[in-house]
């Protein structure tokens, strides 16, 4: 009798996941998604109050969650926290910020702030989790929440787009470097998603029209749109996927 192939499992039972930026928006949604798939999830964020509220909400929903106060811009403290609580089989780095302005109006303070979290913080967080896996000789899946702006440009987004292009670059390089150790490194690239970070854009009518015209599916993203992509990349279902960007952009970059 013919043996049909079986779909690899999307389940994450027995795996330990670290989600940075987990106190709100996409990060919170990713934490919930990983926990729903069976992972033991460590929530990390700067805001101690929101972090505790998120952990409580997940526990009340019957999901496995632990809170770790963490600012990825503090590279040394981040490395220490990862070493203390790791190793982690899965990383989702959703910690990020933006300071949008015309390129000619960019201040060095805003540039340094955004790069400090979006690039420097993301790079060394990914490195810290990988070091734990390498020392333990374990495979893993490291996921950086990038953006469609890591592949295109946008009005008033020179700094933000530059940071996300940088994330795409180091993700590919790390995937090549650690592939032989079974450590996969990928990005998820959402379009504009309805989160507190995006409200500054949606509040300006012409900016909102620009967004809605560029998204071919005709609607702004919701955090739920990102959850399935993250579970897929974290799980065995994506076992041959590394060094790539998963677009969740409603067709923005296709045009």
Catalytic residues: 160, 164
Strands 16-20 and 65-69: unpaired
Q: What is the token pair recorded at 113?
A: 């702030």
Query: Any alpha helices (H) in the chain, and if so which ranges?
Result: 25-36, 48-60, 75-85, 108-115, 122-136, 158-178, 199-202, 205-214, 224-234
Q: Secondary structure of the chain: what % helix, strand, coil (to 5)?
A: 50, 15, 35
DSSP state of 152: S
DSSP state of 7: P
Largest Cα–Cα separation, the chain: 69
End-to-end, the C-alpha distance of the chain in Å comes to 47
Residue position matching structure tokens 């292009």 = 165
Cα–Cα distance for residue pair 73/193, rounded to 1 Å: 23
In three-state secondary structure terms, 214 is: helix
Q: Going along the chain, which residue ranges are E strands? A: 16-20, 40-45, 65-69, 90-93, 140-145, 183-190, 245-248
């Amino acid at each position: 009798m013919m043996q049909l192939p079986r779909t690899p499992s999307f389940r994450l039972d027995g795996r330990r996941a670290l989600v940075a930026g987990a106190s709100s928006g996409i990060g919170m949604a990713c934490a919930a998604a990983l926990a729903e798939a069976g992972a033991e999830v460590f929530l990390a964020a700067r805001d101690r109050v929101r972090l505790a509220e998120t952990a409580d909400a997940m526990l009340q929903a019957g999901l496995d969650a632990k809170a770790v106060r963490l600012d990825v811009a503090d590279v040394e403290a981040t490395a220490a926290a990862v070493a203390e609580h790791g190793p982690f089989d899965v990383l989702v780095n959703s910690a990020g910020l933006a300071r949008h302005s015309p390129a000619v109006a960019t201040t060095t303070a805003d540039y340094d702030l955004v790069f400090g979290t979006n690039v420097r913080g993301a790079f060394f967080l990914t490195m810290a989790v990988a070091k734990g896996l390498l020392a333990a000789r374990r495979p893993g899946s490291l996921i950086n929440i990038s953006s469609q702006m890591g592949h295109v440009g946008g009005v008033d987004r020179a700094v933000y787009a530059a940071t996300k292009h940088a994330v795409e670059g180091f993700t590919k390089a790390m995937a090549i470097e650690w592939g032989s150790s079974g450590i996969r490194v990928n990005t998820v690239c959402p379009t504009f998603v309805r989160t507190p970070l995006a409200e500054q854009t949606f509040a300006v009518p012409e900016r909102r029209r620009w967004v809605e015209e560029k998204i071919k599916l005709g609607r702004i993203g919701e955090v739920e749109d990102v959850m399935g992509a993250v579970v897929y990349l974290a799980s065995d279902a994506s076992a041959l996927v590394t060094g790539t960007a998963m677009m969740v952009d409603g067709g923005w970059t296709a045009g």
